[in-house]
A and B are shown apart, each in its own frame.
Chain A
């Protein structure tokens, strides 16, 4: 395996990066952590001629709470930045926990939040928990900034709704009423495994009644998906094992997994049932988002 030749740019501003992306069109790709891009180039899955590194853009590497806006995660934050962020540990521990389940330590040190989203891999670990927490992304292009719901970023495996010149700059977790959240990654070994099924949930429980719920599924459709029927079913229900089990059954009807070497569609579907139930129970019991 060998890395083909490419041209390399490391712009000093986001605007300049967008300009370069616009100028070179589909021949260019953004390089952040490189954990996915470089491997795909070596395997000739992707063949960009130009790489635009955003390593100088330090303004994209912050995790902070902005009153009135929510928790703002710079897209260049690494997975281990999420694991170790004080802000996240205090406000959204489930995000830190989800990041900790990813890949291996080396990859967590290099891979970025923006990369995990913009790769649009169906089994990515961060999108489900972000979607469950109603996250938005800020993207910047030559025409300026725009914001969209995270779940609207994905168009298909490896495809996003971003234009060629756009870069994800921030993920924003809005203030919310959810009382608990949780992400369960079901991989086939202790580390370095892709999710066979990923289930993220967020719930608002008051007096043992589920006021609100969001359920997001990973690795079981062409993109991360919301289980909206499951959410509707849960709203207003009193918490019980039967209700959570029923929610699992409904969620398993909302996924469209494929069969591959890791698991069959049939197994994935049933695991959605099992892990939706378990993720809900954990989100309700652990008492933090």
Chain B
């Protein structure tokens, strides 16, 4: 089991970057300024689907202060994307614009104001085409085809079957089908996307608010046919990403082109409305689930049949489409499984990875379906989950190897914390209900986004010549989740050093060793494994040097919190890490070490098998208690309990912050958030007044706990993910709490007050008949 005598990890160390962020000293990409810098903006299509007949930029070019106006002919025509299987996007639209806001032209001007004037002066002649706005009907004969290569507007089609589903249903005691519907959501990071591109002396430097400097470097170099070494990508402080800043955008590509043309740095940025249009947020989908269970409610087989709205481009959507079904067999042991999904193209903004990538909406459908089965069979919702809960050291039907798994313990503990049994036995007051739901998520993707044999993570540690500080060099990105803090804690723990003396140079492809960045909840385990290895190498060198200095064998020495002492001879005066490090530098040169991490080969061999593979999976349970206003449908959230199996906790303050943050997003998507469009495909609520994320007044009290004894063999010191998994159970827990309170099922999200009101009204009307 886990070694609990840690000096640095497991402790709520203050944020590495907390002070600069709260004082406003931290510089985000939008704060950056360079001599001679120009400002750039892109012109968006006013139509959801339109042929571009001509573009006249001559009037725009006449405006004083306009330095460049570009269209498709001025930028590479190579299609890009983030999923290599479907590169389908251009820097600027060539023949057609595919959604309202699709990029048609770009300008670089001496200031922001001139940009807007220049955009207004660009004359574009469009032939307006019929748009495809409804993903459920996108494949019909009278629908125009959006992309030449993709018939019936099918972007991705998935058909997987594990075992004989017909046989499983035939042998089942009870078979049930339910269908649930999800909505389009947007991540709403507080920091808008921006990029400063500087193309000078045959080298392109890009400052960007990105989640991954590596993928940006790779794709930008590819687009401009540059060696990776001539493209430097730097992420300054980043104000949130949640999946929406994982892929390069028109800001980087067109900014680079404009910088090359003008020879000056160009800053490009989205405003809030443009962020909503660029999107890459949550896919909406229709989720049909059929399960067969035995007389005790044990699952014998499941068939999930989904259709999702991908929008105009692929983005990360192929992975989303696979994740939607691939992760469902994790929390419950499903012996036979069939998974069908079609991701459709529409003339709406492209959808991508959004915290919990592909999983939360299908999970809502599945957890609601579980409660429907439980109710029909007279089984307590907690019991049906306990009976099906995954056990540790098992493999899912789709070949995911699960090591540590506290599913059962999480369920039991959430039951205790929420007083589930008592509430079920004695009943709750009128209008009050409690629901429970499970979740699981990858701790880093088993395979990179594009095919490569490069390691997933690497790093370097350099101890300063006098030993008073050590710098961790890592290509990771702290997008607000606190990864710098925990990686410095890990480095200090492994080195026998102090967290407070750690420095970090990160998120820069030129100064930092490769790391794939912040997505798929990967940095704690993957980047952390590399950091642990590098730290342990420093530790070994320090002990070796100290052994010479003290004339004691290395195995008799230990280094803790920067103090080296003898294990067997307590009377030997300890020496400090600083003294030893300085001596090391004098005699041997820089004290440096490297670490590298590549996951083991994971998963099956069937089509799509890599998506969902991971060295380790987190597990969690949420219970929610609500009070429903019977007349209005208003949902008051009384409390939420979250119990997590995250392996070894590196920083408990950070961890619970992640749970609270995930619940904030999850609950927002549950009750409030939805991107709405008019009948022409234009967003009607692309701002923070109309798109309703929660306010502080809406945040319920939360109890967040972890399983204390969890240890994950694949993770550094036994650690695994928390950042995304906590978004998984939320919607289901609330739907089930409303179901418990009022006996009505709301079969689509968001679970708005009006939908609850309508469900209650329909129930009353059917009872009166």
Counting chain B CB atoms within 10 Å of each CB, the highest count among A261, A264, A274 belongs to A261
Q: Which residues of B contact A271 (CB under 8 A)?
A: 632
Which of B22-30, B338-346, B607-615, B749-757 interfaces with chain A?
B749-757
Say whether A261 contacts B672, CB under 8 Å. no
Across the interface, A188 reaches (CB within 8 A) one of B271, B273, B692, B696, namely: B692
Within 8 A of B (CB), among A174-203: 186, 188-193
Q: Which residues of A contact B708 (CB under 8 A)?
A: none
Q: Which residues of A contact B273 (CB under 8 A)?
A: 1
Q: Which residues of A contact B692 (CB under 8 A)?
A: 188-189, 193
Say whether A2 contacts B112, CB under 8 Å. yes
The secondary structure that dominates the A interface is: loop
- Closest A residue to B675 by CB, please name it: A261
Q: Which residues of A contact B754 (CB under 8 A)?
A: 263-264, 267
Interface status of B70 (Cβ within 8 A of chain A): no
B87 to chain A, nearest CB (A): 31
Which of B395-403, B474-482, B484-492, B682-690 interfaces with chain A?
B682-690
Q: Which residues of B contact A261 (CB under 8 A)?
A: 674, 676, 684-685, 690
Q: How far is the CA of A267 from the CA of B757 in the complex (A)?
A: 8
- Closest A residue to B41 by CB, please name it: A2
Within 8 A of A (CB), among B676-721: 676, 684-685, 689-690, 692, 694-698
Across the interface, B757 reaches (CB within 8 A) one of A189, A191, A192, A270, namely: A270
Digitize A227-271: 1 where CB-to-B-CB distance is under 8 Å, 0 elsewhere: 000000000000000000000000000000000010110010011
Interface status of B631 (Cβ within 8 A of chain A): yes
Interface status of B116 (Cβ within 8 A of chain A): yes
Across the interface, A189 reaches (CB within 8 A) one of B272, B684, B695, namely: B695
Within 8 A of B (CB), among A38-87: none
Say whether A1 contacts B271, CB under 8 Å. yes
Interface status of B201 (Cβ within 8 A of chain A): no
Say whether B695 contacts A190, CB under 8 Å. yes
- Closest A residue to B755 by CB, please name it: A267
Counting chain A CB atoms within 10 Å of each CB, the highest count among B272, B631, B696 belongs to B631
B377 to chain A, nearest CB (A): 34
Q: Which residues of B contact A190 (CB under 8 A)?
A: 694-698
Counting chain A CB atoms within 10 Å of each CB, the highest count among B632, B672, B758 belongs to B632
Interface status of B113 (Cβ within 8 A of chain A): yes
B465 to chain A, nearest CB (A): 50
B271 to chain A, nearest CB (A): 5
Say whether A188 contacts B695, CB under 8 Å. no
A118 to chain B, nearest CB (A): 20
- With A264-B754, A267-B757, A270-B757 known to touch, is A191 a contact of B631 (CB < 8 Å)? no
Say whether B694 contacts A188, CB under 8 Å. no
- With A188-B753, A270-B757 known to touch, is A2 a contact of B632 (CB < 8 Å)? no
Number of A-B residue pairs having CB atoms within 8 Å of each other in the complex:
43
- With A193-B692, A261-B690, A267-B757 known to touch, is A2 a contact of B113 (CB < 8 Å)? yes
Q: Which residues of B contact A263 (CB under 8 A)?
A: 754
Q: Which residues of B contact A270 (CB under 8 A)?
A: 757
Q: How far is the CA of A133 from the CA of B631 in the complex (A)?
A: 27
Within 8 A of A (CB), among B255-301: 271-273
Q: How far is the CA of A2 from the CA of B273 in the complex (A)?
A: 12
Q: Which residues of A contact B685 (CB under 8 A)?
A: 261
Say whether B672 contacts A188, CB under 8 Å. yes
Say whether B113 contacts A189, CB under 8 Å. no
B100 to chain A, nearest CB (A): 15
Q: Which residues of B contact A2 (CB under 8 A)?
A: 112-113, 116
Q: Which residues of A contact B113 (CB under 8 A)?
A: 2
Counting chain B CB atoms within 10 Å of each CB, the highest count among A104, A186, A189, A263 belongs to A189
Say whether A274 contacts B632, CB under 8 Å. yes
Q: Which residues of B contact A191 (CB under 8 A)?
A: 695-697
Say whether A189 contacts B676, CB under 8 Å. no
B476 to chain A, nearest CB (A): 33
Digitize B105-144: 1 where CB-to-A-CB distance is under 8 Å, 0 elsewhere: 0000000110010000000000000000000000000000
Q: Which residues of A contact B684 (CB under 8 A)?
A: 261
- With A1-B273, A263-B754 known to touch, is A192 a contact of B689 (CB < 8 Å)? yes
Say whether B694 contacts A189, CB under 8 Å. yes
Say whether A274 contacts B631, CB under 8 Å. yes
Q: How far is the CA of A274 from the CA of B758 in the complex (A)?
A: 14
Within 8 A of A (CB), among B329-353: none
- Closest A residue to B676 by CB, please name it: A261
Q: Which residues of A contact B696 (CB under 8 A)?
A: 190-191
Q: Which residues of B contact A264 (CB under 8 A)?
A: 754
Digitize B654-678: 1 where CB-to-A-CB distance is under 8 Å, 0 elsewhere: 0000000000000000001010100
A249 to chain B, nearest CB (A): 13
Across the interface, A192 reaches (CB within 8 A) one of B116, B271, B695, B753, namely: B695
Q: How far is the CA of A191 from the CA of B696 in the complex (A)?
A: 8
Q: Which residues of A contact B758 (CB under 8 A)?
A: 267
Q: Which residues of B contact A274 (CB under 8 A)?
A: 631-632
- Closest A residue to B693 by CB, please name it: A189
Within 8 A of A (CB), among B723-763: 752-754, 757-758
Q: How far is the CA of A267 from the CA of B753 in the complex (A)?
A: 10
- Closest B residue to A1 by CB, please name it: B271
Q: Which residues of A contact B112 (CB under 8 A)?
A: 2
Q: How far is the CA of A1 from the CA of B41 in the complex (A)?
A: 11
Q: How far is the CA of A189 from the CA of B668 in the complex (A)?
A: 10
Q: How far is the CA of A258 from the CA of B272 in the complex (A)?
A: 27
Q: Which residues of A contact B698 (CB under 8 A)?
A: 189-190
Q: How far is the CA of A274 from the CA of B672 in the complex (A)?
A: 22
Within 8 A of A (CB), among B54-95: none
- Closest A residue to B758 by CB, please name it: A267
- Closest B residue to A270 by CB, please name it: B757
- Closest A residue to B699 by CB, please name it: A190
- With A1-B273, A193-B692, A267-B757 known to touch, is A186 a contact of B632 (CB < 8 Å)? yes
B671 to chain A, nearest CB (A): 8
Q: How far is the CA of A44 from the CA of B754 in the complex (A)?
A: 32
Q: Which residues of B contact A189 (CB under 8 A)?
A: 672, 692, 694-695, 697-698
Q: Which residues of B contact A267 (CB under 8 A)?
A: 754, 757-758
- Closest B residue to A104 by CB, please name it: B695
Q: Which residues of A contact B690 (CB under 8 A)?
A: 261
Q: How far is the CA of A2 from the CA of B269 in the complex (A)?
A: 13
Q: How far is the CA of A191 from the CA of B273 in the complex (A)?
A: 21
Q: How far is the CA of A146 from the CA of B23 in the complex (A)?
A: 52
Digitize A258-289: 1 where CB-to-B-CB distance is under 8 Å, 0 elsewhere: 00010110010011001000000000000000
Q: Which residues of B contact A193 (CB under 8 A)?
A: 692
- Closest B residue to A267 by CB, please name it: B754
Q: How far is the CA of A267 from the CA of B633 in the complex (A)?
A: 10
Q: How far is the CA of A230 from the CA of B695 in the complex (A)?
A: 35
- Closest A residue to B691 by CB, please name it: A261
Q: Which residues of A contact B672 (CB under 8 A)?
A: 188-189
Digitize A144-188: 1 where CB-to-B-CB distance is under 8 Å, 0 elsewhere: 000000000000000000000000000000000000000000101
- Closest B residue to A261 by CB, please name it: B676
B272 to chain A, nearest CB (A): 8
Q: Which residues of B contact A104 (CB under 8 A)?
A: 695
Q: Which residues of A contact B752 (CB under 8 A)?
A: 188
B669 to chain A, nearest CB (A): 13
* Given pairs A191-B695, A261-B684, A270-B757, 13 additional interface contacts (CB within 8 A): A1-B273, A2-B113, A186-B632, A188-B752, A189-B695, A190-B694, A190-B696, A190-B697, A192-B689, A193-B692, A261-B674, A261-B676, A263-B754
Which chain A residues have a beta carbon within 8 Å of chain B's beta carbons?
A: 1-2, 104, 186, 188-193, 261, 263-264, 267, 270-271, 274
Which chain B residues have a beta carbon within 8 Å of chain A's beta carbons?
A: 112-113, 116, 271-273, 631-632, 672, 674, 676, 684-685, 689-690, 692, 694-698, 752-754, 757-758
Cross-chain pairs A/B with CB under 8 angstroms, 18 sampled: A186-B632, A188-B672, A188-B692, A188-B752, A188-B753, A189-B692, A189-B695, A190-B695, A190-B697, A191-B695, A192-B689, A261-B674, A261-B676, A261-B685, A261-B690, A263-B754, A267-B754, A267-B757
7 closest residue pairs by CB, A with B = A190-B697, A261-B676, A191-B695, A190-B698, A2-B116, A267-B754, A274-B631
